Structure 1
Amino acid sequence: MTCSSARCWLATLLTCWSLVACASLPTVEADDAKAKAAAIAAPRIQTATGQLSAGGSQALLKKRWAKGALDLQQQAALEEAATGVPLIAGNKVQLLFDGPATLGEMLKAIESAKNHINFETYIFDEDVLGNQFADLMLKKAAEGVIVNIIYDSVGTLTVPQAFFDRMRAGGIKLVAFNPVNPAKVRGNGWKVNNRDHRKILIVDGKVAFTGGINISDTYSKSSPFRSKTKPTDKKDVGWRDTHVKIEGPAVAAFQWLFIRAWTAQDSDDLRDAEYFPTPVIAGDRIVRVLGSAPGGQFEIFKAYQLAMQEAKKSIHITMAYFVPDQQTLGALKDAARRGVDVRLVLPSVSDSGVVYHAGRAYYDELLEAGVKIHELKLSVLHAKTAVIDGVWSTVGSTNLDTRSFLHNSEVSVIVMGDSFGAEMERAFQEDLRNSTEIKLDAWRHRPWSMRMKEWSARFMDYWL
C-alpha cells in the first residue's frame, strides 16, 4: 500500500483497535487439493466462444508444460479444486514497469474510452498526477462516457473531500469503500478494518489493468529498473512497481470483481452501460483472475501456497511487504531444503518502517534454511510478483502478509506458460542486479538496535 507515514500509522491503529479476536488463515495441503482435483477430468478453460472440452483443455495446457518444472495441467487442476475459479484463454497480457510507463498506458486507455470506465484504487491522491487522472475522467464524463470509481477510505484519508466532490459534480459516480466515519456507512455495518487494496481499471469492457500501482506522485519518476542512467540519489528515483495490461475474454472477470465490490458497499445502482461486450480473442495467454475479500474463500492465498508447495525448480518473488504467516514461511523453507532455488527480492527502503522491520525478523530462519534474500537498493519497492518454475507467474495487489490475505480485498492474475514466465524471469534478474544479497553470517552480526526494532515489530505482525 502506498501511504504517507500518518496514513500508515492511522491504518495500523484502526486495525488494532477494531479487532476483538484474530481471524486465521486456512491450512492448505497439496495432497488434499490433489484428492479433489482427481475428480476433475480436465481444468476448465473459458474462451471467447465458450468452455473448451476436456481434451481441448488438456492439449492447450500440455503445450505449455516444460519438463523439470510444474506440470501445468496438474497445477491448473489443483488451483481450480482449491479456488473454484476457471482459467481463461485467448488473452494478451503486457507487463508494465514503474509509474511513467504504466500510468501513460492507463491514461491512453481512458482517453480512448467510448462507453464506460470502471476504476478501483486504494489511493487516489490530490496531486499533479491525481488531478491529471481526475481531469481526464471528467472530460470523458462530459463526452457521455459512464465513469464509476471506487476508492478506499483509509487509502485516501488525507485527501480533501473537495477533490472527490468535484468529480461527483462533473457526473462521475463514486463510492468510498468502508468509510472511516461510521455515520457514513450504508447498510452493511462498520467494518473499518476491511480495506479495498485492489487496483483495477477497466475501459469499455475490452481492456483491464491491475497490479501494484496507485494514483500518486510517488510514481511520477521511474526507478533504476532497466534505466540506462543509474541515479545515486533517492530524490531522483520513483517507486519500483509492476502492473499488467490485459485484453481479451479475461477482462470480463475483472468487470465482475468491480461490480461485486460496488454492490457490496450498498451503493447506488451502476448506470446502464455495455459492461460485457462480446469477447474476442486478443492473444494466446491463459490466465486465472483471482479476487479475494475478507470473509471469503482465500483464493489468492490458496493459489500461492499450492504453487510454492509444488515448485520443482525455482521460486522467485519480488515483494513490497513481506511479513509471512507460518504456512508461507514453512513453504519457502521446505522448498529451499528440497533443492528449489528460492530467492526473494525485498525492500531496503520502505514507506512503512514497522512492516519493513517485521519482515526482517524472519530473515535468520529463512537464510538458515537456504532461502536467498536480496534487498532492492535506492528505490522504494512496491511490486507484488512471483514466478515459479518459470511457468507459473502472478502479478497483482497482494502482499505476502496477513493483512492482505485476511482483511483486504485484493486481486491477482495468474499467467500460465513459459513464454510469459521468461518475461517475468528477465524482470526478476534485473531486480537482482539492482539489489544487495543478505548473507547469513553478516546478518547475524547486525547491530542490536536493528534487532530490537525487528523484535518489537514482530509482536505486531498480525495487524500490519
Structure 2
Amino acid sequence: MTEPQSADADFRSIRYLADQAFSRSAGAPLTTGNQVELLFDSTQNFPAWLGAVEAAAESVLIEMYLFSDDAFGRRMRAALIDKARAGVQVCLLYDALGCWREHLHGFFKPLRQAGAQVRAYNPINPLRGLALFGRNHRKLLIVDRRQAFVSGLCISSRWEGDPDKHLPPWRDTGVHLAGPVVDEAATAFADSWASCGAPLSLPPKPAPAPPPSQDAVAVRLIATTPTTAHLMRLDLLIASFARKSLWLTDAYFMGTSLYLTALKQAAQDGVDVRLLVPRSSDIGWIATVSRTLYRPLLEAGVRVFEWNGPMVHAKTAVADGRWARIGSSNLNLSSWLANRELDVAIEDEEIATAMEVKFVQDLGQATEIVLKGARRRPALSAPRDIDLAQSVLELMHPSAAARHASAAARQAARISDALGAVVRGTRPVEGSEATSFLSIGLFLLALALLVGYFPYLVAAPLGLALAISGGGIALRALVLIWQRHQRPREHDKDAS
C-alpha cells in the first residue's frame, strides 16, 4: 500500500512544481474549464469576429494594433457603429502608430459619434523618448464578456489577399475562447484601457453561461506588458522542456542569442526542432536579418523552412503534441520586452495535435533551407536520460492515444518533407546568406559614404533625439519638483 501512495505523492509534487514553473514564467495561472476553437486565416477568423459582434447584447471590447481603413475595416466599423447605436457598450483601443493614417484621417470619428468609446495607445509624442517604441501589438476581441478571440490577425483586408493582383491571403492563426479564461482577457483589456485614461467601467457581469457540453481545455492567458518578458521566459522554458518536437511559426524572427542557444541545444539533444518563417515579408529588412541567423541553427540540427506565399503572419508554437501557443508575440525583442502582447498557451493534446497537422500542411507550401554541398548536418546526440522535465510533461499528459496521434503527425511530416523535396527541392543556405549579407553590407557602405560627405545626417538627428529626450526628462523632473512642493501646502490646508 505504501508504494502506490508514494507514487501518487510524487505525481502531485511534480505536477505542482511544473504548474508553478509555468505560472511564474508566464505570469499567469493555468485556467481550466474552457472551450477552445482553432481558427485559421481570414476565411475563418473574420466571419467569426463579425458574427460575434453582430450578436453582441452587452459589450464589445477590442484591443487592436492595426484597424485599417479598407474593405474589411469599414465592415467591422459599420458593425460596431450599429451596436453602439443600439446601446451596446463598445470600447476600442487601437495603437497610435499602427493606425497612424486612420488616426490622422479621422477614421474613428464616426465610431465616437455613434457613442463608442475610442482611445489611442501611446500617441506619438517626441517628449516620451524611448517609450515611443513600446506599442500595443495585441489582437483581442471580447464580446459580452463570454467569448474572446486572440490571434495574430488584425482588422485589415490585407489578410484576405487581392484576387485582382493574384495575391493569395496571408497565412495566420487565431483562437476562439469561452469559459473562465475570458475573465482574464477582460482584465488584460482593462489594464491596457486604464493605461490610456480613466479605468474601464462596465455594467455588472451577466449571469454565467451554462456548463460546457464538450471536453474542457486548460489555458494560460499571457498578457505581456513592457519589460515583463512573460512570454520570453515561457518560450525559453518550453524550449528546455520539449522532449520530442518543437515546431515554430514566426512572422518576424529575430531571436536573441539566449533563445537561439535554447533551440540549438534542444536540437542537439534529439528534439525535432523546426522553424517556419516568411520568404517575402511585408517588412523586408526583418526577413533579411532572419536569414543571417540560419547557419548556426542548421548546423545544430534545427530545420528551417521559408513560406512560398506572400506572407505567413502566424505566431505559433507546438511542442510534443501536448502544448500549443497562439497569439500576437513574435520571437524578437520588441514582442518580448517592449510591446503589449497577448498570447494563449494551451495544454491539450487534441488542440496540439491539430496544430501539428496544420504545421505539416504548411510545410507543403514552404521550401526547406539546407546546408550546401558536402557539408552535412552534424550528428545529433542521444536524448538525455529521463529527468524532471521529461517527468513533468509525461505526467501532465499521460494519454497514450494522443501520443500515437502525435507520432503519426510527425511521421506524416517526414513523408511530406520527403515528397516536397522531390517536387520542389530545397534551397541552400549559402545563396540566402549571400543575398542577405550583401544587402546589409551595401546598406552600411552607402550609409558610411553619406555620413562621410554629410556628417550632419548623423549629428542632426542625434542632437535632436538627445534634445528631445533631455527636454522630456527635465520637464518631467520639474513637474515632480512642483508636485513635491505642493504636498506640504495641501497638508497645511487640511490641518487648518
| Distance in 2, Cα, partners of 1:289 & 1:455 | 41
Q: Which amino acid aligns with 1:290?
A: I
In the TM superposition, structure 1's runs of 4+ consecutive aligned residues that sit over 4 Å from their partners are 71-74, 454-459
Q: In the alignment, what sits opposite 2:408? A: none
Instruction: State which of 188, 195, 206 in structure 1 corresponds to 2:135.
Output: 195
With over 3 angstroms needed to count, the CA separation of the structure-2 counterparts of 1:148 and 1:74, relative to structure 1, is same
Instruction: State which of 225, 232, 254 in structure 2 corresponds to 1:293.
Output: 225
Q: Which amino acid aligns with 1:278?
A: P
User: Could you give the per-residue CA deviations for residues 138-174 of structure 1, whole angstroms, max 9, x where no partner exists?
Assistant: 0001111000000001100122442111111110101
Q: Does 1:341 align with 2:272?
A: yes
Whether the 8 Å CA contact 2:292–2:433 is kept in 1: the answer is no
| Distance in 2, Cα, partners of 1:454 & 1:92 | 46
Whether the 8 Å CA contact 2:146–2:178 is kept in 1: the answer is yes
Structure 2 SS opposite 1:191? helix
Report the structure, 1 or 2, having the larger helix content.
2
Alignment of 1:420-431 (within 5 A): 420-431=351-362
Structure 2 SS opposite 1:448? helix
Q: Does 1:238 align with 2:166?
A: no
State the Cα distance separating 1:273 from its structure 2 match: 2.3
Whether the 8 Å CA contact 1:208–1:254 is kept in 2: the answer is yes
With over 3 angstroms needed to count, the CA separation of the structure-2 counterparts of 1:276 and 1:254, relative to structure 1, is farther
Whether the 8 Å CA contact 1:202–1:255 is kept in 2: the answer is yes
Q: In the alignment, what sits opposite 1:284? A: 216
Q: In the alignment, what sits opposite 2:425? A: none
Q: In the alignment, what sits opposite 1:255? A: 186
Q: Which amino acid aligns with 1:208?
A: A
Q: Does 1:98 align with 2:44?
A: no
Whether the 8 Å CA contact 1:289–1:413 is kept in 2: the answer is yes
With over 3 angstroms needed to count, the CA separation of the structure-2 counterparts of 1:342 and 1:454, relative to structure 1, is farther
With over 3 angstroms needed to count, the CA separation of the structure-2 counterparts of 1:449 and 1:80, relative to structure 1, is closer
Instruction: State which of 112, 117, 124 in structure 2 corresponds to 1:180.
Output: 124
Whether the 8 Å CA contact 2:254–2:332 is kept in 1: the answer is yes
Alignment of 1:42-441 (within 5 A): 75-159=18-102, 160-181=104-125, 191-221=131-161, 235-265=166-196, 267-275=197-205, 277-278=207-208, 281-282=211-212, 283-296=215-228, 298-441=229-372
State the Cα distance separating 1:245 from its structure 2 match: 0.4
Whether the 8 Å CA contact 1:287–1:413 is kept in 2: the answer is yes
| Distance in 2, Cα, partners of 1:457 & 1:117 | 46
Q: In the alignment, what sits opposite 1:43? A: none
Whether the 8 Å CA contact 2:291–2:436 is kept in 1: the answer is no
| Distance in 2, Cα, partners of 1:394 & 1:116 | 27
Structure 1 SS opposite 2:154? coil
With over 3 angstroms needed to count, the CA separation of the structure-2 counterparts of 1:87 and 1:208, relative to structure 1, is same
Q: Which is worse superposed, 160-169 or 111-120?
A: 160-169
Structure 1 SS opposite 2:342? strand
Instruction: State which of 423, 438, 448 in structure 2 corresponds to 1:452.
Output: 438
Whether the 8 Å CA contact 1:361–1:455 is kept in 2: the answer is no
Structure 1 SS opposite 2:311? coil
User: Could you give the per-residue CA deviations for residues 431-459 of structure 1, whole angstroms, max 9, x where no partner exists?
Assistant: 11111111111212447343222567999
| Distance in 2, Cα, partners of 1:203 & 1:309 | 36
State the Cα distance separating 1:280 from its structure 2 match: 5.3
State the Cα distance separating 1:306 from its structure 2 match: 0.3
Q: Which amino acid aligns with 2:41?
A: D
Whether the 8 Å CA contact 2:172–2:312 is kept in 1: the answer is yes
Q: Which amino acid aligns with 1:292?
A: T
| Distance in 1, Cα, partners of 2:277 & 2:143 | 32
Q: Which amino acid aligns with 2:434?
A: W
| Distance in 1, Cα, partners of 2:371 & 2:17 | 36
Q: Give the alignment's TM-score, normalised by structure 1.
A: 0.77
Larger radius of gyration: 2
Q: Give the alignment's TM-score, normalised by structure 2.
A: 0.72
| Distance in 2, Cα, partners of 1:173 & 1:373 | 44
| Distance in 2, Cα, partners of 1:308 & 1:456 | 35
User: Could you give the per-residue CA deviations for residues 305-334 of structure 1, whole angstroms, max 9, x where no partner exists?
Assistant: 101111110110011110000111001000
Whether the 8 Å CA contact 2:190–2:199 is kept in 1: the answer is no
Whether the 8 Å CA contact 1:244–1:395 is kept in 2: the answer is yes
State the Cα distance separating 1:214 from its structure 2 match: 0.3
Q: Which is worse superposed, 275-284 or 438-447?
A: 275-284
Whether the 8 Å CA contact 2:96–2:120 is kept in 1: the answer is yes
Q: Which amino acid aligns with 2:68?
A: D
State the Cα distance separating 1:275 from its structure 2 match: 4.7
Whether the 8 Å CA contact 2:289–2:436 is kept in 1: the answer is no
State the Cα distance separating 1:100 from its structure 2 match: 2.3
Q: Which amino acid aligns with 2:272?
A: D
Structure 2 SS opposite 1:382? coil
With over 3 angstroms needed to count, the CA separation of the structure-2 counterparts of 1:190 and 1:407, relative to structure 1, is closer
Structure 2 SS opposite 1:134? helix
| Distance in 2, Cα, partners of 1:419 & 1:178 | 39
Structure 2 SS opposite 1:150? strand
Whether the 8 Å CA contact 2:145–2:205 is kept in 1: the answer is yes
Whether the 8 Å CA contact 1:252–1:276 is kept in 2: the answer is no
| Distance in 1, Cα, partners of 2:326 & 2:36 | 11
With over 3 angstroms needed to count, the CA separation of the structure-2 counterparts of 1:165 and 1:446, relative to structure 1, is closer
| Distance in 2, Cα, partners of 1:443 & 1:181 | 42
| Distance in 2, Cα, partners of 1:167 & 1:137 | 7
| Distance in 2, Cα, partners of 1:240 & 1:374 | 14
State the Cα distance separating 1:274 from its structure 2 match: 3.7
Counting aligned pairs with the same residue, the percent is 34
| Higher relative contact order, chain-length normalized (CA < 8 Å, sep 6+) | 1
User: Could you give the per-residue CA deviations for residues 367-402 of structure 1, whole angstroms, max 9, x where no partner exists?
Assistant: 111100011112311000000111110000000001
Whether the 8 Å CA contact 1:293–1:409 is kept in 2: the answer is yes
User: Could you give the per-residue CA deviations for residues 390-443 of structure 1, whole angstroms, max 9, x where no partner exists?
Assistant: 111000000000111111100110000211111110111011111111111121
Structure 2 SS opposite 1:163? coil
| Distance in 1, Cα, partners of 2:234 & 2:191 | 21
